[in-house]
């Protein structure tokens, strides 16, 4: 089972403020379980977004495109694993 985090815990773990994380949700870069419950997948996605911005210089227009492509890769990887069974 995935660990559940609060928004405050997510902010502490990522070094982001609540406004920034809330903007990520509003832009649909994140889809938390609820506004008050976050899981490991959400935490990893936030860290990935921060890495894209800070380490690779990705701007706000590029982030959703990159996230969509990564989501597709994960989806098709899962489908291939299902077919291999």
- Residues 50-84 have pLDDT tens digits of 999 999 999 999 999 999 999 999 999 999 999 99
pLDDT band at 17 (very low <50, low <70, confident <90, very high): very high
Residue 14 tokens, joined: 């990522």
Residue 58 tokens, joined: 């990705």
Other beta carbons within 10 Å of 18: 11
Place of tokens 């890495």: 51
Residues 47, 12: contact at Cβ < 8 Å? no
Paired residues of 37 in beta bridges: 34
Domains, the chain:
7-84 (1.10.1660.10)
Q: What is the pLDDT of residue 2?
A: 64
Residue 21 tokens, joined: 């994380």
């Amino acid at each position: 089972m995935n660990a559940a985090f609060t928004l405050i815990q997510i902010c502490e773990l990522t070094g982001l403020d609540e406004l920034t994380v809330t903007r990520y949700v509003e832009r649909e870069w994140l889809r938390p379980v609820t506004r008050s419950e976050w899981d490991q997948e959400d935490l990893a996605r936030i860290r990935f977004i921060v890495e894209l911005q800070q380490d690779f210089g990705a701007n706000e227009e590029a982030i959703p495109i990159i996230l969509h492509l990564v989501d597709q890769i994960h989806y098709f990887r899962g489908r291939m694993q299902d077919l291999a069974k």
